[in-house]
Amino acid sequence: MSAVRKIAVVTGAGSGIGRAVALELASTGWSVALAGRTAGTLDETASLTGPDADVLAVPADVTDPAAVTALFTTVREHFGRVDLLFNNAGTFGPGGIGFADLPYEAWRKVVDVNLNGAFLCAQAAFRQMRDQDPRGGRIINNGSISAHVPRPDSAPYTATKHALTGLTKSIALDGRPYRIACGQIDIGNAATDMTRAMQQGVRQANGDLAPEPVMDVTDVARTVRHMADLPLEANIPFATVMATNMPYVGRG
Residues 190, 216, 25, 136, CA torsion sign = negative
Which amino acid type is present at position 3? Answer: A
Cα distance between residue 202 and residue 223, in whole Å: 26
Identified catalytic residue from 104, 157, 178, 248 = 157
Q: Are 98 and 86 in contact (CB under 8 A)?
A: no
Cα distance between residue 187 and residue 163, in whole Å: 16
Based on the residue annotation, tell me whether 178 is a catalytic residue of this protein. Answer: no
Cα distance between residue 42 and residue 34, in whole Å: 6
Q: CB within 8 A of 28, min separation 6: which ones?
A: 1, 225
Query: What SS3 state is found at 6?
Result: coil
Q: Phi/psi zone of residue 84: left (φ > 0), alpha (ψ -120 to 50 degrees), beta?
A: beta
Cα distance between residue 188 and residue 244, in whole Å: 9
The set of catalytic residues is 157
